Structure 1
Amino acid sequence: MATQKQRLYGFFMVIVGAAFWGLSGTVAQHLFETSDVSVEWLVTVRLLLSGLLVLIIVSAGKNRRAVWGIWKDKKAAVQLIVFGIAGMLGVQYTFLASIGNGNAAVATLLQYLAPVLIMLYLLLTRKNSFQFFDFLGLLLALGGTFLLLTNGNISNLTVSPLSVVWGILSAGALAFYTLYSSSLVKTWGSALVIGWGMLIGGVGMSFIHPPWAVQAEGWTVSGIVSVAFIVIFGTLLGFCMYLESLKYLFPQEASMLGCTEPVAAVASSILWLGVSFGLFQAAGAACILVMIFVLSQKKSAGKTAALKNNIQR
């Protein structure tokens, strides 16, 4: 059981890590708008570079023997491959594809429907019982998404349908990522799991879009800085801090406290990129943020402990 100090540390890690995620989404939108960089290339490069950096850091520390030792555990090795492809690569690609076809603010808010998907999964698998907060959270999520995507006019989507599809898929990937990584992180540590997950995802993506297949012409200092920020802050530090928080917080808590990400994404999109946000869209965004807080208030201590045990099995 985590102490109060450890839980506060977990809160700090997930909030700051999520803020880096949110800002990196806006930086990615800026990069797509001002260069010929493709979603596929950016996903490949950010996963490969970040994965290698994390594993180098782990290799220099006390846990260096586990870098290769994890592959001797057949069950962990299979889980790691699934996590790298379906979890890590899944989250990265769907999220950036949603941004590339729309904007960072909407893509991030759609991704944060993940707590509702986690809730529905726990209800369907009978790991949790349906409560009033569940109904209220679901209602806020559906209403908020409707307002966000239509701005109150059902005949006019605020982003392309393809962006909506990728955004919803990113929510599913984040829900899977949050639930599936819990047992691996507990056994092997977040840095090791995240490093291999990124590298596996990056290698897998390289078969689709090699990192060297990029136009060298037209690169600017701004573009290089943007890629560096996305790799170091938006991927390396963001994911490591998020998974580190799972040592002290429950998966639902980490997902819900990650609401810092959509706040950072919306604020930076409006203030920096000048993305327009209608009144009904703002109301929809507020509904989604309230939904995250509502769901975070529904657990009792006993049910939370039972939930954690079930997820870890």
Structure 2
Amino acid sequence: MAKKSELTEKDLERRRRVRRGIVATLVGGIFWGLNGTVSKWLMDAYAIDPLWLVCLRELSACWLFLAAAALTARGREQLAGVWRSPRDLLAILGVSLGAILFSQVAYLEAIDWTNSATATIMQSLGMVLVLVYVCVKMARRPRRRELLGVALALVGTYLVATGGNPGQLSLPPEGLFWGLACAAAAACLSILPAAPMARWGNFTVNGLAFLCSGLILTVVYRPWEHMPALDGVAVCVLALCVVVGTFGAYALYLQGVKDAGSMRASLLGTIEPVTATVATVVWLATPFSMAEIVGFALIIAMVYLTA
């Protein structure tokens, strides 16, 4: 009887953890979706260059990640220990360049050339590239539902890119390029950080990767030469983008992956493109054709089939 009661208590604890993970994933996805729309508004209203915004987000959010890591004894051990492992520092450098810098630049450039809804939907195509990686790594063929998901993704991308008219592009060529770059960046973001995070924790890896990425971009881009004219409203909105849309979204989503599992998180993460689409239509009054909406739906369906 005691054993049965003990198992029941463990069951309840597991369910509480999963429910907490579901909520964290949903809130993190909503923050990400809203952050894209807010970033588009900032870039349009204040003529902010996407690369300037990337510099600000990375060099501000990195300290929040590192501070969060330093709050726990385990995190402090990881922060101190990672410097004694040159191999892992090289891996984090790879994350900073191949995942963080690539994804931040591609996403904001895609938003600048299109809108947050289109950029976020195109970003979801990264699931197809992750599927290819998994099949190659595990030396297996894709399953039928996975092939169906890829087919839906291709049709969805065609509808989003052309608006259903094969004779013209609904998106500007630059928007299509950066949208596809978003997909590649999303795949890198799903694959590259996995090993270093498993050893050193997500806050430590993200904090160092964001810091390294921001410093490299700052040296190359020189953001002080591209300062936009900002008022009090813009400063407050930028602070929200950093604290809520970058640090908050990452922290909540990663907690959701830990508590609810990667498969649930992948499926629940589709709240991000839905939120971005609704916010783009309601707030920015951006119109979409029926073909584009159908394309969005097909790409989201691909996520469910391949997750």
What's the TM-score, normalizing by structure 2?
0.89
Confirm or deny: 8 A CA contact 2:146 2:306 kept in the other structure.
Answer: yes
Other-structure match for 2:5 = none
Deviation at 1:128, TM superposition (A): 4.3
Other-structure match for 2:216 = 204
Q: Aligned pairs, how many?
A: 294
2:118 is the alignment partner of 1:106: yes
Confirm or deny: 8 A CA contact 1:21 1:234 kept in the other structure.
Answer: yes
2:97 is the alignment partner of 1:76: no
Other-structure match for 1:89 = 101
Identity of aligned residues (%): 28
Specify the structure having the higher radius of gyration (Cα): 2
Deviation at 1:50, TM superposition (A): 0.2
Structure 2: runs of 5+ lacking an equivalent: 1-12
Q: How far apart in 1 are the matches of 2:300 and 2:247? A: 25
2:274 is the alignment partner of 1:263: yes
Other-structure match for 1:154 = 166
2:192 is paired with a residue whose SS is: helix
Confirm or deny: 8 A CA contact 1:182 1:246 kept in the other structure.
Answer: no
2:199 is the alignment partner of 1:191: no
Deviation at 1:39, TM superposition (A): 0.8
Counterparts of 1:257-296 in structure 2, within 5 Å, are: 257-296=268-307
Higher helix share: 2
Deviation at 1:286, TM superposition (A): 0.8
2:220 is paired with a residue whose SS is: coil
Q: How far apart in 2 are the matches of 1:75 and 1:186? A: 14
Other-structure match for 2:9 = none
Deviation at 1:250, TM superposition (A): 5.1
2:44 is the alignment partner of 1:20: no
Deviation at 1:252, TM superposition (A): 5.2
Per-residue CA deviations over 1:274-309 (Å, capped at 9, x if unaligned) read 01111111111111111112223xxxxxxxxxxxxx
In 2 relative to 1, CA 113–256 (structure 1 residues): closer, same or farther, beyond 3 Å?
Answer: farther
Counterparts of 1:170-249 in structure 2, within 5 Å, are: 170-215=182-227, 218-248=229-259
What's the TM-score, normalizing by structure 1?
0.88
Other-structure match for 2:130 = 118
Confirm or deny: 8 A CA contact 2:26 2:269 kept in the other structure.
Answer: yes
Per-residue CA deviations over 1:55-94 (Å, capped at 9, x if unaligned) read 1232243222322321212222111111111111111010
In 2 relative to 1, CA 119–253 (structure 1 residues): closer, same or farther, beyond 3 Å?
Answer: farther
* CA RMSD across the alignment: 1.9
